[in-house]
């Protein structure tokens, strides 16, 4: 079995811009998963990682030299804006290491060596003790860069107030403010509105369900609160930035460092205003911000998707497509949600359009293959397995280290009804590569099944035990798989 909740967005254009070009077959050459794996360049070992040093950051990555250079330049621009525009005082003199692993498995191994708790959802972090930012270059470059800018903000603020006495609304508000930054043509564009967060905030303000600012500014942790607090923190920072009040942040932190309570510090830094007085002008200002972007509706659709409000997610995708009919990622997300809702004909149509609109987005081809798999399971055998293979291969052509596509393709080759697609000798190295890239229980189960189908029962048992040791949610399934392999071993 190979199943997962693959909620996320693929923006391959950023990858291609950073020099991670897709595999290209020679003219007349048949494309197979093995040919892609064999001819795609092996990742540079971490010991030989590229390094770019700048005054305040040392970027280390085994992705590409160009990515290291671009990120170094973008971070220095962000650093400058934080200290010049937001008046955060004297900058630190030490350069911060920024480690970007090419693969998730490398990132997880590094965390394991440090003794850090593992999580499937950790994309990156700033470690205030080791003084470093660590992340991995996933199949969602936009999300990676968002994480990078967010964590870099925490670093800069931490350097300004190392004792951790920065109010969380300001710390997280600044981080969200910068997480939407876009590096283009050597310039870092900041201050974009995260429309998905804005719409959620506007709804809460209209319904009186937002956090009053006097309370928000006293929170010392957002973990026990919903994401609305992040949206509010961003909106206050954005309000100050747009109204030329951002220079007060440095004074505010200075007052807190001197031992002032937050209310007194706020009044002294912002001309005697209180959080209640700020709220009286902030609320109408927030409600007056207009939704101008198809991307905003797309972001709202993402939020609905994360909240399991699937019908609302589809409707929000439709709103995005009204504003921008060529927004391929909205078509992609709509197709994925429709797949989740088991509306396969509609999902098929949306995803075929997404693939046509953006043929560089590996996730669209991957999801389209999943729809064909569902149609096949529902009894529609008209070329569904061949369509699965074609779309998985296309996804892997675009991104040779696409672990999900590799895993699902290996599973198809192991259990396909069509004898022409039963390619167990190809399935094994493909599954092994998927495990190398992303060693989850699901991928290990795929590899175990491949070994079993090839008669390598001892390897199947050992691999199944590895999967079971990870305590996956569907424990009974994995236990039955192990029993099946162990019974075969006894025969």
Q: Give 104-121 pLDDT, tens digit per residue.
A: 878 888 988 988 776 666
Give CA–CA dist 446/199, Å, rounded.
41
Average pLDDT of the chain is 85
Angle at which helix 362-377 crosses helix 384-398, to 10 degrees, equals 160
The answer to the question of residue 20 being in a domain is no
Work out the average pLDDT over 289-304.
83
Instruction: Kindly report each contact of residues 4-9 with a partner whose C-beta sits within 8 Å and lies 24 or more positions away, as own/partner.
Output: 4/404, 4/440, 4/442, 6/336, 6/367, 6/404, 7/305, 7/306, 8/138, 8/139, 8/140, 8/143, 8/363, 9/140, 9/142, 9/143, 9/302, 9/329, 9/332, 9/333, 9/363
CA dist 450 to 422, 463, 489, Å? 11, 10, 15
Q: Is residue 126 part of a domain?
A: yes
Residue 135 maps to a domain:
yes
Q: Is the pLDDT of residue 85 over 50?
A: yes
Would you say residue 414 lies in a domain? no
Q: Where are the beta strands (DSSP E) in 65-198?
A: 96-101, 124-127, 132-136, 182-184, 187-189
Q: pLDDT value at position 384?
A: 86
Between 105 and 288, name the one with better pLDDT: 288
Q: 299-346, pLDDT tens digit by residue?
A: 889 888 988 999 999 999 999 999 999 999 999 999 999 999 999 999
Which pLDDT score, from 0 to 100, does residue 311 have? 96
Confidence of residue 475 (pLDDT cuts 50, 70, 90): very high
Residue numbers of the domain that contains 203: 46-288
What pairs with residue 61 in β-bridges? 50, 100
| 53 CA to centre of own chain | 26
* pLDDT for res 344: 94
Q: Is residue 259 part of a domain?
A: yes
pLDDT band (50, 70, 90) for residue 216:
very high
**Lowest-confidence pick of 215-224, 311-320, 445-454:** 215-224
Is residue 13 scored above 90 in pLDDT? no
What pLDDT is attached to residue 26? 47
Element holding 248 (H helix, E strand): helix 248-257
Nearest to 334 by CA among 303, 313, 356, 312: 313
Q: What is the pLDDT of residues 188-200, one digit of tens each?
A: 899 888 887 898 8
Domain count across the chain: 1
Find the distance separating the first CA and the last CA of the chain, reported in whole Å.
Answer: 23
Residue 347 lies in a domain: no
Lowest-confidence pick of 119-133, 203-217, 379-393, 452-466: 119-133
CATH number at residue 274: 3.40.30.160
CA distances from 149 to 39, 82, 247, 280 (A): 34, 11, 20, 31
What pLDDT was estimated at residue 191?
Answer: 87
What does the pLDDT look like over 53-76, one tens digit per residue?
999 999 999 988 999 999 999 999
Answer whether residue 337 is part of any domain: no
Mean pLDDT along residues 119-126: 76
According to the model, what pLDDT value does residue 199 have? 84
Is there a contact between 108 and 135 (Cβ–Cβ < 8 Å)? no
How many Cα atoms are found within 13 Å in the side-chain-facing hemisphere of 427? 26
User: Does residue 462 sit within a domain?
Assistant: no
Number of helices and strands in the chain (H, E): 23, 7
Q: With H, G, I as helix, E, B as strand and everything else as coil, classify residue 117.
A: coil
Report pLDDT digits (tens) over 382-412: 788 999 999 999 999 888 878 899 999 999 9
Residue 25 has pLDDT above 60, yes or no: no
């Amino acid at each position: 079995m190979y199943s997962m909740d693959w909620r996320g967005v693929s923006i391959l254009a950023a990858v291609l811009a950073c020099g991670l070009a897709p595999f290209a077959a020679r003219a007349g050459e048949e494309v197979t998963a093995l040919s892609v794996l064999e001819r795609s360049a092996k990742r540079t070992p971490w010991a030989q990682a590229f390094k770019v040093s700048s005054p305040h950051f040392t970027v280390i990555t085994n992705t590409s030299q160009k990515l290291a250079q671009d990120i170094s330049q973008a971070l220095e621009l962000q650093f400058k804006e934080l200290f010049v525009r937001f008046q955060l005082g004297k900058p630190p003199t030490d350069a911060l290491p920024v480690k970007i692993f090419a693969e998730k498995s490398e990132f997880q191994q590094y965390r394991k060596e440090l003794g850090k708790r593992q999580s499937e959802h950790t994309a990156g972090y700033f470690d205030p003790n080791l003084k470093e930012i660590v992340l991995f270059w996933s199949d969602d470059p936009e999300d990676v860069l968002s994480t990078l800018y967010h964590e870099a903000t925490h670093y800069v603020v931490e350097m300004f107030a190392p004792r951790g006495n920065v109010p969380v609304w300001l710390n997280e508000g600044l981080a969200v403010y910068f997480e939407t930054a876009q590096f283009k043509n050597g310039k870092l564009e900041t201050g974009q509105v995260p429309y998905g967060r804005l719409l959620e905030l506007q709804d809460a303000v209209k319904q009186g369900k937002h956090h009053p600012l006097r309370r928000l500014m006293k929170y010392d942790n957002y973990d026990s609160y919903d994401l609305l607090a992040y949206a509010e923190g961003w909106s206050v920072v954005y309000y100050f930035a747009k109204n030329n009040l951002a220079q007060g942040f440095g004074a505010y932190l200075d007052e807190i460092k001197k031992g002032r309570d937050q209310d007194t510090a706020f009044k002294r830094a912002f001309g005697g205003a209180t959080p209640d007085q700020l709220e009286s002008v902030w609320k109408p200002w927030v409600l007056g911000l207009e939704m101008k972007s198809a991307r905003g509706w797309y972001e709202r659709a993402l939020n609905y998707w994360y909240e399991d409000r699937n019908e609302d997610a589809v409707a929000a995708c439709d709103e995005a497509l009204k504003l921008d009919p060529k927004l391929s990622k909205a078509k992609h997300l709509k197709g994925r949600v429709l797949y989740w809702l088991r509306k396969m004909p509609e999902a098929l149509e949306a995803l075929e359009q997404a693939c046509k609109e953006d043929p560089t987005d590996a996730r669209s081809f991957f999801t389209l293959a999943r729809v064909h798999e569902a149609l096949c399971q529902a009894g529609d055998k008209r070329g569904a397995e061949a369509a699965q293979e074609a779309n998985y291969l296309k996804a892997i052509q675009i991104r040779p280290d696409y672990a999900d596509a590799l895993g699902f393709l290996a599973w198809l080759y192991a259990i396909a009804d069509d004898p022409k697609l039963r390619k167990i000798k190809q399935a094994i190295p493909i599954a092994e590569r998927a495990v190398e890239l992303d060693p989850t229980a699901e991928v290990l189960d795929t590899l175990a099944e491949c070994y079993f189908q090839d008669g390598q029962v001892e390897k199947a048992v050992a691999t199944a035990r590895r999967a079971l040791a990870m305590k996956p949610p569907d424990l009974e399934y994995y236990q039955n798989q192990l029993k099946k392999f162990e019974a075969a071993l006894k025969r």
